[in-house]
Structure 1
Amino acid sequence: MRHHASRHIGIIGEFAKLDVDRSDRTGIPEAILAEGKTVDQVVRTLQHMAKASGVALATRVDPACADAIRRKLRSNFSIDWNEAGRTVVVHKKGLKRTRTGGQIAVLAAGTSDIPTAEEARVTAEVMGCNVLARYDVGIAGIHRLLEPLREIFSNEVSAIVVVAGMEGALPSVVRGLVAVPVIGVPTSTGYGYGGHGQGALMTMLQSCAPGLTVVNIDNGFGAGATAALIANRVADARLKRS
């Protein structure tokens, strides 16, 4: 930190100005997008953020970058590498993780949608939520959705992230069956006409099920953060009433 006016900004060389207190201000922490950065930039940014706030999240981390993070930071920090979701969470050793009481669910239509779903799950967990994750429950075998829905009802989740590629119909189906906000995430799974997530995105945007909000293609972080923000507000309101 250089001076009083920039006390909330973590300046790293000439390449990064970290919004260290973003979580306190907005309820959502700054995440480090590893894609497009050098390994050294990712490592230094994670280290600075974890030192300043206790925990740091990086998304779209490839295996080589994850290995470098482990080698360079493991002596002073605990490292959680989620290979499927391509996320790395760095936190101070011995730090007790905050649990807010927020409850969300993450559903993935197919196995190919799991990477984006895992990004959403990890993001929500970093924000203190408990996450019920159930995968491969798409509409081609819609009976697979019944048990996850029962669990969702019994756990009283406050928001549901639904990840789907191909035609992207699952979020609309889920929203028509539940009484909580649903965040739809189209994935780039799919090919041919409307492939690479475009067909899924258009389906979700054209949904006739009100209460379905849609994020951009493959944006698991945005969906997980939004769901967690909702759930944390609900948990906070319940705590104040009790």
Structure 2
Amino acid sequence: MREKIEQLLNDYKEGKIGVDEFLNQIRWFPFENIDFAKIDHHRTLKHGFPEVILCQWKTPEQVREIAKRILERSKLLLATRANIEHFKAVKKIAKDAEYNELARTITVIREKPNKEDKKGKILIITAGTADIPVAEEAKVTAEILGNDVEVLYDVGVAGIHRLFLNFEKLKNASVIIVVAGMEGALPSVVGGLVSVPVIAVPTSVGYGAHFNGLAPLLTMLNTCAPGVVVVNIDNGFGAAFAATLMNRKF
């Protein structure tokens, strides 16, 4: 691998390849192997942000070691679906780590996230208060990725006038994330009102026939409102990452 990098550097210095081709080549290079994980340090070149740690199903020790390796090369860290034990483990190697109990995220921010390539504001909406934890995961993710974020909580279709009274916020957003459980109708309503991308996030909030999020997922997939796309159940992180890509100027 070292020989390959040296060859690319020589080709670049000799003018055989340009900077774009050089970056395109190295962004596909292998990862750091630490036995139980293979850390993709080149993800920053592809997405502009280091690999995000999914803590769920990982031990605190595994999360700590992955976080340590990422922070050796990056000044930003995001870990999702974390519990307090995961946070305590990370805190041992990063005293500046912060834990958001509602969002279940761990963050380390040692430099300000880049906002220069963003078009505008991401608006995160929830149908109900019970949907806020998923929305908060999206909010933390969107902010550490460098977006300006605004939230509008508890404006579901059971009291749709609450949404209409905040119409200015909808008009000022570049991308909108709509988080809803129950029957999941809110993204279709929002999609019918705006001219920007709407990312629908079904949640596992609801009564019996809600099937832990399957009912709103199917509702959202069957929306007739153009411009609405759907992520998986409770996937606030995925919604925010996609919204960030949509919010880029180039």
Q: Same fold (TM over 0.5)?
A: yes
Contact kept, 8 Å, 1:29 with 1:127, in 2: the verdict is no
Q: Mind listing any 5+ residue stretches in structure 2 that lack a counterpart?
A: 6-25
1:163 matched to 2:184? The reply is no
1:112 matched to 2:130? The reply is yes
Contact kept, 8 Å, 2:125 with 2:176, in 1: the verdict is yes
Q: Give the aligned residue type for 2:67.
A: L
The offset of 1:12, in angstroms, is 4.8
For 1:217 and 1:113, how far apart are their aligned partners in 2?
11
Contact kept, 8 Å, 1:182 with 1:211, in 2: the verdict is yes
Aligned to 1:187: 203
Aligned to 2:241: 225
Contact kept, 8 Å, 2:175 with 2:197, in 1: the verdict is yes
Contact kept, 8 Å, 2:202 with 2:232, in 1: the verdict is yes
Aligned to 1:82: 100
The offset of 1:196, in angstroms, is 0.3
Q: Give the aligned residue type for 2:145.
A: M
The offset of 1:135, in angstroms, is 0.9
The offset of 1:183, in angstroms, is 0.3
1:177 matched to 2:193? The reply is yes
Q: 1:146 to 1:104 in 2, by over 3 A?
A: same
Percent of pairs with identical residues = 46
From the CA coordinates, give the structure whose radius of gyration is larger.
2
For 2:230 and 2:115, how far apart are their aligned partners in 1?
26
Q: Give the aligned residue type for 1:37.
A: K
Contact kept, 8 Å, 2:126 with 2:180, in 1: the verdict is yes
The offset of 1:33, in angstroms, is 0.4
Query: CA-to-partner distance for each residue in 1:87-134, whole Å, 9 max, x for gaps?
Result: 111233xx2332234421111111111111111111111211101111
Report the TM-score, using the length of structure 1 for normalisation: 0.86
For 1:16 and 1:3, how far apart are their aligned partners in 2?
21
1:122 matched to 2:143? The reply is no
1:19 matched to 2:40? The reply is yes
What is the root-mean-square deviation in Å for CA atoms of aligned residues?
A: 2.0
Q: Give the aligned residue type for 1:112.
A: A
Contact kept, 8 Å, 1:58 with 1:88, in 2: the verdict is yes
Q: Give the aligned residue type for 1:203.
A: T
1:42 matched to 2:63? The reply is yes
Deviating more after overlay: 96-105 vs 180-189: 96-105
Report the TM-score, using the length of structure 2 for normalisation: 0.83
For 1:122 and 1:113, how far apart are their aligned partners in 2?
15
Following TM superposition, where does structure 1 have runs of at least 4 consecutive aligned residues deviating by more than 6 angstroms? none
SS at match of 1:197: helix
